[in-house]
């Protein structure tokens, strides 16, 4: 079986699959079969082999860093989302690349596209109590309550939610401000998952979710134990509405941060699923290990400049530092997982109303895959720092992970070589880093965004003045106005507004885009039925272990 890296063709295929309602497929084949549109491996049976139910149904999965939270209403990160997606369930769920009924057994949409009416199925919480429409009313209201301090409350604005109510115990009605084609996708997103009011009340700041005595869930797995910095243990939820399809009895989610240690454990057989193999091992794994997969993501890795702090309050400095980065070299020699150099913040997975790839039409704003050294040096000199003279020593901050460290070191070297400026590096544990970045207590830091839905707004919305994801502390009234107008517009008019807004944001160089993400993962052959959806979130609800 041959290996391959990601190419732009795969990104384009991902665009097509998302538009048609399918996800990308993790593949390690040189030519994937035409129907391989989901990142998953389906179970098979071979005559003479033991049945799956004769094998211990325990999955060991290294989740890496400890999640900041696994409370659906508070979570704002991928790592927490991975766990949440296996413990909770929303109105819909993405299965095999398609939105399938979940807590809603059916739904209708009004002729004007504004009113969605969901019929809640007869399902139970893990303690046996019935799930009702009022659970959704409470959960959504909780996210929107300022006292909750949810980092993702803003997504209700992007979803254009105007109001919601429980018509009765089994009918949940949502009214939108304007027709929103991607709304159903968000109905399967973690922030919109239900939680139970009495459970939440028993533990402040999301602590109820990591205490087995208060953790009440509605997904395929429930919490058995949580040991901070060590592991989380999930067990099958017997009250899940599709419990008959859940084969795994137990999932052990390890928190091994060091990728080399995790790979050693995987190769020794003590880990079944590995999220982040060491970067330096990827070329060997591509060549030698048939359980190593690379597939595209809807996401962008980037550098954030704090525009409120000198010298990054000068657009010439920001543009110079962005031009001085060699994105092609970074992807080929540092990350080495088939990443595609990014020349603006929007990943190439969103199409406009005329079928154009939005990021391509938006443009590159003088950026190139390789460093534009001469122009970068000229801009830095115009800003008062010829050959880097007088430029203050600044700190680049990143979250603890070997991959982030290597990228930071490469950026540090490029800026030294191309601009003769000194950058120091500092790392923080993920939870601390997230708070530091959001508060703007940095000069330059790493950024990364994986789209919550397939539309440019999931990227551009981050830079609204009041967005908690606006790490650059950037403010632009015209930009805000264009995006607000876009919320009310449709079709080509809407995308014209998004293009104008994107041009303003990109033209200010508040971020330096680096590359479009890929997922490099390892999954043992004995694990089948696993899935990673179009939002790059793991789902093991229908997985099993075979021998």
Query: What's the whole-number average pLDDT of the chain?
Result: 90
Q: Which residues on adjacent β-strands are paired with residue 115?
A: 175
* Helical H segments across 420-445, by residue range: 430-439
220's tokens: 């395929």
Residue 534 and residue 15 in contact, taking contact as beta carbons nearer than 8 Å: no
| pLDDT at residue 13, rounded to an integer | 43
Which structure tokens are listed for 187? Answer: 């109905």
Section 115-124 average pLDDT? 98
pLDDT of residue 200: 96
Cα gap 263→360, rounded to integer Å: 37
Q: Mean pLDDT throughout 39-64?
A: 65
**Mean pLDDT computed over 9-16:** 44
DSSP state of 241: T
Terminal-to-terminal C-alpha distance of the chain: 20
Residue 30 pLDDT exceeds 70: no
**In angstroms, rounded to a whole number, what is the distance separating the alpha carbons of residues 495 and 501?**
10
Where residue 306 falls among pLDDT bands split at 50, 70, 90? very high
Whether the per-residue pLDDT at 51 is higher than 70: the answer is no
pLDDT for position 39? 55
Confidence of residue 295 (pLDDT cuts 50, 70, 90): confident
Model confidence band, residue 40 (pLDDT cutoffs 50, 70, 90): low
What is the pLDDT, as a whole number, of residue 41?
A: 57
Residue 246 or residue 79, greater confidence: 246
Report the greatest alpha carbon distance in the chain: 75
Q: Residues 36-45: what's their mean pLDDT?
A: 44
CA 346 to chain centre: 13
Over residues 186-218, the pLDDT tens digits come to: 999 999 999 999 999 998 777 999 999 999 999
Nearest-angstrom CA–CA distance, 150 and 142: 8
What is the pTM assigned to this prediction? Answer: 0.82
Mean pLDDT, residues 417-434: 96
CA 87 to chain centre: 17
Domain residue ranges in the chain: 60-248+524-545, 298-519
Residue by residue, what is the 3-state secondary structure of 69-113?
CCCCCCCCCHHHHHHHHHHCCCCEEEECCEEEECCEEEEEECCCC
**For residue 26, which of 339, 294, 335, 337 has the smallest C-alpha distance?**
294
Mean pLDDT of all residues in 108-116: 97
Is 8 or 517 the better-scoring residue by pLDDT? 517
Asked if residue 250 has pLDDT above 60, the reply is: yes
- Of 310, 305, 276, 343, which Cα lies nearest the Cα of 521? 276
42 pLDDT band (50/70/90 cuts)? low
pLDDT at 536: 82
**Domain spanning 60-248+524-545: which superfamily?**
Dipeptide-binding Protein; Domain 1 (3.90.76.10)
- Residue range 298-519, CATH number: 3.10.105.10
CB atoms near residue 457 (< 10 Å): 24
- pLDDT at residue 9 above 50? no
**Cα of 237 vs its chain's centroid, Å:** 26
**Beta strands, E only, 212-262:** 221-227, 231-236, 250-254
Q: What is the mean pLDDT of residues 456-465?
A: 96
By the 8 A CB rule, do 448 and 490 touch?
A: no
* CA angle 398–404–408, rounded 5-degree value: 70
pLDDT digits (tens, 9 = 90+) for 136-168: 999 999 999 999 999 999 999 999 999 999 999
Q: Is residue 101 predicted with pLDDT exceeding 70?
A: yes
pLDDT digits over 480-523, tens only? 999 999 998 989 999 999 999 999 999 999 999 999 999 899 99
**Average pLDDT rounded to a whole number, residues 333-357:** 93
Q: Which two tokens stand for residue 368?
A: 């190139």
User: What digits encode the pLDDT tens for the residues 359-409?
Assistant: 999 999 999 999 999 999 999 999 999 999 999 999 999 999 999 999 999
């Amino acid at each position: 079986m041959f290996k391959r890296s990601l190419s732009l063709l795969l990104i384009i295929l991902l665009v097509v699959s998302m538009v048609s309602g399918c996800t990308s497929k993790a593949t390690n084949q040189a030519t994937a079969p035409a129907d391989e549109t989901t990142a998953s491996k389906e179970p098979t049976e071979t005559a003479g082999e033991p049945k799956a139910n004769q094998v211990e149904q325990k999955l060991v999965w290294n989740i890496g860093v400890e999640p900041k939270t696994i409370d659906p209403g508070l979570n704002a990160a991928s790592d927490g989302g991975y766990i949440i997606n296996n413990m909770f369930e929303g109105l819909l769920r993405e299965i095999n690349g398609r939105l399938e009924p979940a807590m809603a057994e059916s739904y209708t949409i009004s002729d004007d596209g504004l009113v969605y009416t969901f019929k809640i199925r007869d399902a139970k919480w893990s303690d046996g109590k019935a799930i009702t429409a009022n659970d959704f009313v409470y959960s959504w209201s909780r996210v929107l309550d300022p006292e909750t301090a949810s980092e993702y409350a803003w997504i209700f604005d992007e979803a254009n939610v105007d109001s919601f109510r429980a018509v009765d115990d089994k009918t949940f009605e949502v009214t939108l401000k304007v027709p929103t084609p991607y709304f159903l996708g968000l109905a399967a997103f973690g922030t919109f998952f239900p939680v139970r009011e009495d459970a939440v009340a028993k533990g402040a700041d999301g602590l109820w979710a990591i205490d087995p005595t208060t953790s009440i869930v509605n997904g395929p797995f429930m919490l058995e134990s949580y040991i901070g910095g060590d592991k989380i243990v999930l067990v099958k939820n017997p009250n899940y509405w599709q419990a008959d399809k859940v084969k795994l009895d137990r999932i052990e989610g390890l928190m091994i941060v060091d990728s080399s240690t995790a790979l050693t454990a995987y190769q020794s057989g003590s880990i079944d699923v590995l999220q982040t193999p060491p970067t330096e091992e990827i070329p060997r794994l591509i060549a030698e290990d048939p359980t190593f997969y690379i597939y595209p993501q809807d996401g962008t890795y980037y550098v954030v400049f704090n525009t409120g702090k000198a010298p990054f309050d000068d657009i010439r400095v920001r543009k110079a530092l962005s031009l001085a980065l060699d994105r092609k070299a970074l992807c080929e020699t540092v990350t080495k997982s088939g990443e595609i150099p990014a020349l603006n913040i929007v990943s190439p997975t969103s199409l406009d109303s005329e079928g154009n790839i939005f990021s391509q039409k938006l443009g590159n704003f003088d950026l190139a895959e390789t460093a534009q050294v001469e122009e970068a040096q000229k801009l830095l000199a115009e800003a008062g720092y010829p050959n880097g003279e007088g430029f203050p020593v600044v700190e680049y901050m990143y979250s603890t992970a070997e991959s982030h460290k290597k990228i930071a070191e490469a950026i540090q070297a490029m800026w030294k070589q191309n601009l003769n400026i000194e950058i120091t590096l500092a790392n923080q544990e993920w939870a601390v880093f997230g708070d530091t970045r959001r508060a703007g207590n940095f000069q330059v830091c790493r950024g990364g965004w994986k789209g919550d839905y397939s539309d440019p707004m999931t990227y551009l919305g981050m830079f609204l003045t009041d967005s908690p994801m606006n790490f650059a502390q950037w403010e632009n009234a015209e930009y805000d106005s264009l995006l607000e107008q876009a919320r009310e517009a449709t079709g080509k008019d809407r995308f014209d507004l998004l293009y104008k807004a994107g041009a303003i944001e990109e033209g200010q160089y508040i971020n330096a885009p680096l590359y479009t993400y890929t997922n490099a993962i390892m999954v043992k052959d004995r694990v089948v039925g696993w899935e990673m959806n179009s939002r790059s979130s793991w789902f093991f609800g229908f997985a099993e272990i075979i021998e």
